[in-house]
Amino acid sequence: MNKFITPQLPYAYDALEPYLDKETVVLHHDKHHETYTQKLNMAIEKHPGLFETPVEKLLSDLDAIPEDIRLAVRNAGGGHYNHNLYWMALGPKAGGEPTGELLAAIMRDFGSFEKLKELMSEAALNLFGSGWAWLSLNGQKLVVEKTVNQDSPLSIGHTPVLGLDVWEHAYYLKYRNVRADYIKAFWQAVNWVAVEASYMATK
Ligand code: MN
C-alpha cells in the first residue's frame, strides 16, 4: 500500500524570491499542500484498495469513488494534485516565454503568448472566492478555464498544463489583498521548460 506523499520542492524554499517569498512558500508547501495530502490519505484509508490508483485517475472519474469519501477525494485529492502541478511549473531564474511545440500550440489556440497571459490573468483576477485559473488541454486544444475550491480540470475531462492558485494562502502574506500583483509575479516564476515537458507528456 502506497500512501500519497507531498513531493519535495525541486528548488529551495527561497528560490522563487522576490516573486514568491520564502515564508509563503514554506507555509504553502509544508502546511497547506501537506494537509491536503494527509486528508487524502485519511479518506483513502477507508477504502485502502484505492491507494493503488494514481490521483489523476481518482480525479478523472469521481463518480467511481465510493460515496462516503467522494467529496474528500474531490477536495483533498484535488488539493494534493493541483499543488503537485503548481510547484512543478515554477522555478528560479524563470519567467520569459514558452518555446517549441507548446508555444506553437499557444499561437494556434490564442494567437499569441501575450493573449494567453491576458486571458489567464483575467480568469485568475475575476475568480470569486478561492480557486484556480488554468491552462488546460481539452482534447488537443488549449483552453483557459477556472475551477473553484480545489476542483481539478481532470474531473471535467480536461488535462491541466499550468495552474495558477488564487487561494489567499498563495499570496496574502506578501501581496495582502492585491491579487493582481501576485498574478503579475506568478508569470515571472513560471518555468516554461518544465511546463513544456508536462505538456509534451500529456498531449
Ligand atoms: Mn494553494
Q: What's 51's domain CATH number?
A: 1.10.287.990
Asked whether residue 11 is domain-assigned, the answer is no
**pLDDT at site 202:** 87
Predicted confidence (pLDDT) at residue 13 exceeds the cutoff of 80:
yes
Q: pLDDT averaged over the chain?
A: 97
- For residue 108, the CA-to-ligand 1 centroid distance in Å is 30
Confidence class for position 172, pLDDT limits 50, 70, 90: very high
pLDDT tens-digit map of 119-136 = 999 999 999 999 999 999
- Looking at 88, 113, 138, which one is the last position of a domain? 88
- For residue 156, the CA-to-ligand 1 centroid distance in Å is 20
Please count the structural domains in the chain: 2
Q: Distance between CA atoms of 165 and 135, rounded to whole angstroms?
A: 12
Predicted confidence (pLDDT) at residue 80 exceeds the cutoff of 90:
yes
Question: Under DSSP, is residue 190 helix (H, G, I), strand (E, B) or coil?
Answer: strand
Q: Which domain holds residue 176?
A: 100-202
Q: Distance between CA atoms of 84 and 8, rounded to whole angstroms?
A: 9
